[in-house]
Amino acid sequence: MNIPVVLAILVVFAFLAFRKANLFILALAWWIGAFVFFRFGFTAPIPASVISIYMGIVSLATLAFVSSSEQRREEVSRPLLRLMTEKRFAPLLAATIIAIPALAAANVYVQMNVPIEPPFFPRTIHPASPPEITVHEKKISIDLGDNPFRELEKSNPQEFRQHVENGRRVYYQNCVFCHGDNLAGNGMFVHGLDPIPTNFADGDTIANLRETFLFWRASKGGPGLPEEGGPWNSAMPAWEKILKEDEIWDAVLFLYEFTGERPRAREEHAQ
């Protein structure tokens, strides 16, 4: 709760009670006070639609109260009657008659006067990766690490192939639905997704990324994206919940093997 706002409302009511304010003024103060309380009285904002509902209830309750006895009806209508009948209030009456439609018109004008533009979604496609992540309780350096199986490409090509084949299995069991069977980001789920899944086969994307970057993105998914550069709304799952660490590294190997791309080297990245 926003204490200063609540205190301010209470002070106004205390003042009105002290002045023995007319019922009309009190009812008006109730109504405005309730609105200020709902709108500004809470640290977490209440949705406008909910405020409208509450204010509808407050209006009905106030009306019911002020019209509940002959004496109250008489008391609320007295200032209104005076405003309308007494000569000295004529300018105020005229101002009120002009102000009510003018306020309504101003409100409509302000609401309509929004430039028509497509929604703006500034999104960094490749946000900066964290220097280090923890996957299955193991720390993995994104900046300084490498795909642990990449070296097998030269030292043990046969074992390397096994990892790539395992990556192929992982890909076609898990990733194909979104990233597509030719890795072009056109799997059968894409029509429901915005942003669409990354196209790994465009000859450009993964060639500019390091394998550890892809490992980060695959293991932490959309939920692991940093705050800045959003909004993300990414459907990319956090695969660490489903796959083993090795399976993710293998899938990354497969992405490069299938597309014939080479990962960006660490030396280049460090500069």
| Choices 20-28, 45-53, 112-120, 175-183; region in contact with ligand HEC by CB under 6 A | 175-183
Contacts with 262 (C-beta within 8 Å, 6 or more apart), sequence order:
207, 256
Of the candidate residues 178, 183, 201, 253, the single one contacting ligand HEC (CB under 6 A): 178
Of the candidate residues 140, 217, 249, 259, the single one contacting ligand HEC (CB under 6 A): 217
| Choices 33-41, 88-96, 153-161, 210-218; region in contact with ligand HEC by CB under 6 A | 210-218
For 215-224, the CB contacts below 8 A with 24+ separation are: 215/140, 215/142, 215/147, 215/248, 215/249, 215/252, 216/129, 216/130, 216/133, 216/142, 217/129, 218/248, 218/251, 218/252, 219/133, 219/135, 219/243, 219/245, 219/248, 220/133, 224/133
Q: Between residues 79 and 195, which has the closer beta carbon with respect to ligand HEC?
A: 195
Site for ligand HEC, residues 129 to 158, rule: CB under 6 A: none
| Choices 33-41, 88-96, 112-120, 193-201; region in contact with ligand HEC by CB under 6 A | 193-201
Q: Is 179 in the site for ligand HEC (CB under 6 A)?
A: yes
What are the C-alpha distances in Å from 201 to residues 77, 184, 192, 204, 214?
76, 5, 21, 8, 14
Tell me which residues touch ligand HEC (CB under 6 A). Answer: 126, 170, 174-175, 177-179, 189, 193, 195, 197-198, 205, 214, 217-218, 222, 234-237, 239, 251
